[in-house]
Every structure is written in C-alpha cells, then in structure tokens.
A = this chain, B = another copy of it.
Amino acid sequence: MSSSSRAVARLSRVAGHIATSKPSTRLSSSSAAAIKMTHTRKHKVAIIGSGNWGSAIAKILAENTKQHTDIFEPEVRMWVFEEDYQLPSSHAAYSESEHSKPRKLSELINQLHENVKYLPGVPLPENLVADPSILSAVKDASLLIFNVPHQFVSKICDQINGNILPYARAISCIKGVDVSHEGISLFSDVIGRKLGIYCGALSGANIASEVALEKFSETTIAYDPPGTLTPLPEEFPVINHALWKSLFHRPYFHVSMIHDVAGTSLGGALKNVIAIAAGFVDGKGWGDNAKAAVMRVGILEMRKFGLMFFDSCKSETFTEESCGVADLITSCAGGRNHKCAKLSVLQKRPIEEIENEVLNGQKLQGTLTAKEVNEFLKARGKEDDFPLMTIVHKILIGQAKVEDIPHVI
C-alpha cells in the first residue's frame, strides 16, 4: 500500500469515526470502478477447506466471481479432503444406480452442487468446483482463501509451498489464534511465513449455518500487506480493500475492511473465554444486568490484551467491529461455550462432563483458550491485569467460585 493511499485510508477512518456509522473503510463505487479499468488478466480464486464454514464461504466466493467477471475468473476451486460418503436414500437426488454405494465426496459435490456431508441442504453455485488434489486446487490461483481446522494449517502449507503463484495473496478464515506460554501466533502469519506471501484475516459474528442460509450478517476482513511482497504483475486488477470486498461482500454478508489483522484474529479466540464467564453468570440466574456487565468488561479486557501484546492492534477493532463486540454478543447469546458453562453451574457439575455430553467428543474452545491465555499471562507476570480472563480459568480449575466474579471486575 502506498503512503498516499495509507493517508487516504487513515483520513477515511478518522472521518468515519466522527461522521458515519458505516464501516470506516468501505470504499466508494468510484474506487471499485477504478479497479476494473486498467487490467487485462483476471484473478483466479481457490479455497482450501470444505467443512461447514469453508463451504459457506466457498458459496459466497463463487457467487461473487460469477457476478464480477470483469475482475475474477468465474470458476472457484475448492480443495476437498477426500473421503467416501454414502448419500442417504432420503436425499432428493438419490438414485439407486448411482448412489447405492459410498462415493467420493468431491464427486458428489460436483454432481449435486451441494456439500452433502458438511453443509447438507444448501445449493452451491455451479461455478464452484470441488477438487480432491490440493496442488491442482491452488494452481494458478492469485487469491487463496484458507478455511481449514487450525491443526492442519502447518501441514497444508508444507504441501503447497512452491506450488503457488509467488505473487498470490491470501485471507485466512480460520477462527482464533494459537496461544501458548511461549507466545501467540496468528494463523494468517503462519500461512504468510510458510508460503512467502501475505495473508490477511476474516472474522466476525458468523455462525456458519446462518451464513449458508443467507441470513443477514456482517464480517470484518483485515488486510494490511507490507511493501516488500513479490509484486503482482501489472496486468492483474490491484489487490486492495475494494477487491477483497468485491470477493466477499454479499447483500446478506456485509464486509467491513480494516487494517488490524491481530485484533481481528484475537477477538475470535478471546471471546470464547468471556462467553464462559457469561454462561456462568446466566447459570447463577444473576440476570441481564450482570451478564451485560461481564460482556462489557470482557470487551475491554480483550482490547487491553490486544493493545498490550500487539503494536498494530487498534482499540476500535474490539469496540466497534463485527470481529469484536458483535462476535462477542453472538457467542454470549447462544454459543457452545456459553451453553456448557451455564449448564455446568445449573447442574453443579464440572464443565468437562457437560462438554462430553453436549459436544459429542468435540472439545470446547473456550476452556482450552482460557488455559492457554492463562499460561501466556502467567509467564509474563500479567495475570492481575486481566482479572476476568484469569478468574474464568481459576473457576474452571476449581481455584475460584463464580461468586468471585463481581469482586474482580
């Protein structure tokens, strides 16, 4: 990004802060027109991952590449971790001759235009092509979207390294961050470093099943590349905020573009710890005042965490963006962390027991993050600066009681 366009973006942010409730870096239609006029090549889009959230995002990408054919190649390749799947005979498209035995998931997706295993019932655009070969999926793609379970990020990057365009740019839709006592890694940073490209981040109040059904929501995309990247050939439309917005924004999925990648990623991890606190309070029946108080203090602790440990973090990412305050609201309204914490108080049982019953063997993100964040803070002597996150961890390990929460906030 040039210094002059940085200045414009900064001014636009300041003006937005004062004078508009719309996301501050929404670009005008004239900027969008400017992208489209000076290029002779189009961007090819690949998405790595095809789970519930991956398929919902893939659907959005393919809808937009079909709509903006002046910027994007219509076809979007989606890498599918191949597996055999037996189509249920109750499926409308079931035919005895074709589906009496398990078939490859990628074939079923391409035949039925539906991810029958991970996003059943949602029609996918025909220009979205499932590809079981990751190298084939990313070939010639100048825009790479990552949406895989976080434990696979590193291995997948090793697989495709050297097989992507050196001037590709990426967005990670992987929720959260990787915290340990050693430090915090952003998945976008891991991807960027491993592949030698730049990767931004998408996060927001986005329950995948609701997005897939085109229920209205908002999201935040953070993208702030350094000036030292392999340059994009001039024949391509420039990859900037307006371009990413053209790729992700839908009438039912509103995108706010910002620069704060760390803040955008942190919100998706830390909110789970706060949602556990809110669940505890709800379990006690302390009412809506108390829950709102915990959420308010939670937003401020999340922000404090970001500002303390990441130079690039911005206060408003937490207090104003979908990836901050809105995602927290959603998670405290009905997310699984909130639900399990509430049940553990109501039933006076350890949260692990509830987790095992309710989540079918999956692990709660919030309890793990509370532990990891606590190790990270303890290693830096900063537990006392984050009393709410600290007491959540202490309650989880039996060293404090829910009744202690009001005393520390």
Interface of A toward B, CB cutoff 8 Å: 17-22, 205-207, 210-211, 215-218, 251-252, 254, 281, 286-293, 295-297, 299-301, 303-304, 307-308, 315-316, 319-322, 325-327, 329-330, 333-334, 385-388, 405-407, 409
Contact = CB atoms under 8 A, between A and B. Distances in A.
B406 A326 contact: no
A228 B290 CA distance: 38
Contact of A288 (B207, B296, B316, B319): B207
B21 A292 contact: no
B319 A319 contact: yes
Chain B CB within 10 Å — which of A17, A205, A308 has the most? A205
B322 A320 contact: no
Contact of A254 (B17, B387, B406): B406
Contacts of A406: 216, 251-252, 254
A251 B288 CA distance: 17
A210 B292 CA distance: 13
A291 B251 contact: no
Contact of A287 (B215, B292, B304, B308): B215
Nearest to A327: B292
A407 B22 CA distance: 12
Number of copies: 2
Given A210-B289, A288-B210, A325 B307 contact: no
A385 B289 contact: no
Chain B CB within 10 Å — which of A19, A22, A321, A405 has the most? A22
A300 B409 CA distance: 25
Contacts of A321: 296
A334 B386 CA distance: 29
Given A252-B406, A329-B295, A289 B217 contact: yes
Given A293-B216, A296-B322, A327-B292, A207 B287 contact: yes
B205 A288 contact: yes
A329 B251 contact: no
Closest 8 pairs (CB-CB, A-B): A217-B289, A21-B300, A319-B319, A292-B326, A205-B292, A296-B326, A210-B287, A216-B406
Nearest to A204: B289
B289 A207 contact: yes
Contacts of A300: 21, 320
A294 to B, nearest CB: 9
Contacts of A297: 21, 218
Nearest to A388: B21
